[in-house]
Amino acid sequence: MKKVLFAVLIVVLAWGGVSAAFAGTFSFDPMPQVPLFREPVADPYSFSSKLHIAMALDEDNRPNKVYSVIIETDGANPENDRGFYDFLPYDDTPLKAGNNKYINMKTAMSLGLLRLRYSGEGWVPSIDLELNLAGYINTIFNMFGKNDTLDFDGAYLLGASVRFADCVSIRVGIHHFSGHYGDEMLEKFYKYNKVDSSEQYRGGSLFEYAKAEAGKKYYLVSPVEYVRDNSWIAGISADLPFGIRLYGEAELPQNPSWLRPFVHCPADYDNPVDGDNGRPTMIDRIGGDAADGEQIPQYQLDEEQNLKRTANGSYKAWRIHTGLEWRINVGFGSVFAAADVQFHQDGQTLHKMGGYDKSNPWEMELTVGGGIELGDFLSDGRTVRLEAYYHNGRVPATQWFYQRFSSVTVGIGVN
C-alpha cells in the first residue's frame, strides 16, 4: 500500500515538474467532474448510485435462505467434529410464492483527483493522468412483509488512471469488498432457527437443525460472509466512434489479505495477521479457530489446502469482467444500451468445502439493459439515468454471493 502511494506521489510530482517546464501545453484540474475511467452502467459492482426495483424471475432462486457455517459434533469425541455450510431459511414469508420483489439502493462516489493533462502536439497524443478515489455502500431489502433489509455491503477503490488521446483509459489500484447482513433479517434468522447462545461450542451457538442426525448436536458459528480486503485491480476502457465504449477489468486478491469465506481462499496464501504464527496460511486463519475464524476442524482445512495445491496454484479467486456501452446523443442527453459479463474464479469452489476442482467452470454473471441518460455524460458532466436491466447472476448484494438470481430491474441511476 505504501509503495503504491509512494509511486503515485513520485509520478504526480514528476509530472508537475514537467508541467511547470512546458507551461502552455500542460494543464491541471484539482477536481474534475467525472473520472477518466467512467463507471460502467451495467456493472453490478460499479461505483455508481442507483435506486432499483428488482423482480426475481425464478421462484427457486431468491435470497430467502442464509448460507451458514455449522459445526456438527457427537458431544464426546472432538476429533469427529465436522464443519460444513448449509442453507437455512430465516422466515416463512420470503419462501412464499409471489414474494419476489426487492429494492436495491446504492450510494456511490467515483472521483478523479488532481488531474494533469498534456494536450498533445503533432504526432504525440493527449495524455491525462489522475488519482482516483471511489466507494459505495449498497443495500437490498424486501418489498414484501416488513421490508426487511437483507444486506449492507461496501466497496472502495484507491488508484490512478491514465488516458491517451481522449480515447483509451487505464486504471489500476486496490479494491475492497465487504459484505454485511441486514439486522432485521438476522434477528428473524436467529429466531427461526432457534439459536440458543446459552450453550456454546467451538465459537458457535446451539440451534435446531432440520437435517440433524440422531445423537449429534449442531452449532451455528455464523452466516457465511464475503470479504476481499484487498485486491489488486487493473482495467482498460476504450471510447470508440459512434458512441461505443468497450471495457474490461481484472482483480486479484493480495497475498496476504483478508478474504472470506475460507473456501474461496487460495492455497498457500499467507496468514494476513502478523504474529499469528500458529496458523501459517490464509486458509488456516480464515477457516480456523481464531475468534474471527470459521471454526472448521484443522483436518478439513488441511484437506482444502491440499485440494487447491493439486491445481498447481492456478486458483487465485480472480474476478474479471468485461462489457460494452452504446450511446446515441439526443437533445436532453442520450439513449443507451449496455451489457456486462462477470467471471468469478471462486465459482470453481462451488462455494462449499471440498468442492473445488480445476475443471469446474468459473461462475458467470450477465447484465444487459438500457435506458435514457439525462445530462451531458460525454462532456464530463453528472448524469441521471432512467434504466432497465435483465440480470442473471448473483444477488446484487455481496454477502449473498452464493445465491443465483435471475431478475429484471427498473430504476434510476446517478453518476
Partner 1 sequence: MKRPACVVAVLILSLCLSFASGFEFEIVPAAGPLFKEPVADPYSFVSRIHIQKALDPNQRPTRIKAAVKIVDGSSTTTDYIMLPVSDNMVADPDKYSNYLEMRLGTSASLARVRYDGNEKIPSIDAELTIGGALNTLFMIFNSSASLGFDGTWMAGASIRVGDVFTIRGGMHHFSGHYGDEILDDFYERNRVDFNNGRKINADFEGREEGKDYYIHNLVEYVRDNYWIVGASVDLPFGLRFYGELEWPFKDVWLRPFSSTPAGHNTQSGTPLLEYVGGSSEGFTEEQVQDELKRKTGTGYNALRAHVGFEFFFDISRAVSVFVSADLQFHQDGQTKHMPNSYSPDNPWEREFSVAGGVELGDVLPGRHVRIELGYHNGRVSTTDWFYQRCEIAYIGLSIG
Binding stretches for partner 1 (CB under 8 A)? 30-31, 33, 49, 51, 105-109, 111, 113, 133, 135-139, 149, 152, 154, 180-184, 186-187, 190-191, 193-198, 200, 205, 208, 222-223, 292, 332-333, 374-376, 381-384, 414
Nearer to partner 1, 165 or 212 (CB): 212
- Least distance in angstroms from the C-beta of 197 to partner 1: 5
Residue with smaller CB distance to partner 1, 226 or 356: 226
Measured from the Cβ of residue 227, the count of other Cβ atoms closer than 10 Å reads: 21
Of 69 and 353, nearer to partner 1 (C-beta) is 69
CB of 319 to partner 1, least distance (A): 22
The minimum distance between CB 337 and partner 1, in angstroms, equals 20
338: nearest Cα among 373, 371, 363, 364: 371
Min CB(406)–partner 1 separation in Å: 26
* Shortest CB 412 distance to partner 1, Å: 8
**Choice between 92 and 183, CB closer to partner 1:** 183
Cβ atoms of 251 and 96 within 8 Å: the answer is no
* Least separation in angstroms between CB 338 and partner 1: 19
Pick the closer one to partner 1 by CB: 73 or 334: 334
Q: How far is the CB of 132 from partner 1 (least distance, A)?
A: 12
Question: For residues 169 and 193, which CB has a smaller minimum distance to partner 1 in the complex?
Answer: 193
Rg (the chain; Cα; Å): 24
CB of 358 to partner 1, least distance (A): 32
Q: How far apart are CA 13 and CA 32, in angstroms?
A: 19
Minimum distance from residue 130 beta carbon to partner 1 (Å): 13
Closest to partner 1 by CB, 223 vs 369, is: 223
If the CB atoms of residues 260 and 308 are measured against partner 1, the closer one turns out to be: 260
* Closer Cβ to partner 1, 119 or 200, answer by number: 200
Q: Which of 8, 38, 200 has its CA nearest to residue 110?
A: 38
Cβ 335 to partner 1 shortest distance, Å: 14
Nearer to partner 1 by C-beta: 81 or 148? 148
